Amino acid sequence: MSDYISIYQSIQNECKTMAKGTPPVIIAVSKTKPYEVIREAYLQGIREFGENYIPEAIEKFTKLREEFPESIESVHVHHIGPVQSGTLRKLFGIFSYTHGVGSFSSLTELLKRAEKEKKTIRYFLQTNLTSENTKHGFPLETLLLKGDDLLTFQNEYCIWEGFMGMGPSSGDLAQTRDVFTKLASFRNTYFPHKQLSMGMSGDYEMAVELGSNFVRIGSKIFGERDYGTHTV
């Protein structure tokens, strides 16, 4: 079995050195990877996982809880795909966080569901700072218009953690830096107490330099994904 924890810890140490404040949480993105890989990563000590296909995550992490009941307390599963109204009720129970709230209608529904389920979920508003119209998420102007009203989208169970951002799908690093810089400055100016979820395998260094609090790393820890039936 691969040595996931060594890679995880070296990313963690690198981020600790680069971060200006509290070092970021490193989310090991295990999407498309089989249960055996998650089991092994768990045994090696990894506790933060990221998944974007809900049924697949439920299957894998239910199994982990059955085999290691203590993992219920210590493991956080982060949902990193777009939140859809039709499936968001399935987030409750397995996921501690969702990083993909991209519309006010799904947010309203998430809030209602959380109260009904009486299960805590922390969420990130996904922003869209590229001109790609395929990208899900809020333009910063939309968030600016809401201003402090954004703080009202919370209840006892549904907690607003911060903003999530991604560079363009092309992976262009100059454009990615531009996106991360804009989002970080927006956060610092208007919502300094909120967290930032930015950075993936190819761009986490610049994200952390710019103040990211959560980085989402898949291929660098687990290797390339075999794009099977469900990826995004």
Give me the residues that bind ligand PLP (CB under 6 A), please: 29, 31, 52, 80, 200-202, 216-220
| Contacts with 32 (C-beta within 8 Å, 6 or more apart), sequence order | 53, 56, 225, 226, 227, 228, 230, 231
**Nearest-approach distance from CB 155 to ligand PLP, in angstroms:** 25
The most distant pair of C-alpha atoms in the chain lies apart, rounded to whole Å, by 50
**DSSP code string of 11-67:** HHHHHHHH-SSSPPEEEEE-TT--HHHHHHHHHHT--EEEE--HHHHHHHHHHHHHH
Burial category of 36 from C-beta neighbours within 10 Å (exposed 0-12, middle 13-18, buried 19 and up)? exposed
Minimum CB separation of residue 152 from ligand PLP in Å reads: 26
From CA 34, how far away is CA 171, in angstroms rounded? 26
**Of 29 and 64, which CB lies nearer to ligand PLP in the complex structure?**
29
Complex with ligand PLP: residue 157 or 214, whichever CB lies closer: 214
Smallest CA-to-CA distance from 223 within 27, 10, 32 is with 32
**116 vs 230, beta carbon nearer ligand PLP:** 230
Query: Cβ 200 to ligand PLP, closest distance in Å?
Result: 4
Smallest gap from Cβ 176 to ligand PLP, in A, equals 12
Residue nearest to ligand PLP (CB): 218
Nearer to ligand PLP, 117 or 201 (CB): 201
- In terms of CB distance, is 80 or 107 closer to ligand PLP? 80
Amino acid of residue 177: R
Cβ 166 to ligand PLP shortest distance, Å: 6
With respect to ligand PLP, which residue has the nearer C-beta, 87 or 201?
201
Q: How far is the CB of 81 from ligand PLP (least distance, A)?
A: 6
3-state secondary structure 129-179: CCCCCCCCCECHHHHHHHHHHHHHCCCCCEEEEEEEECCCCCCCHHHHHHH
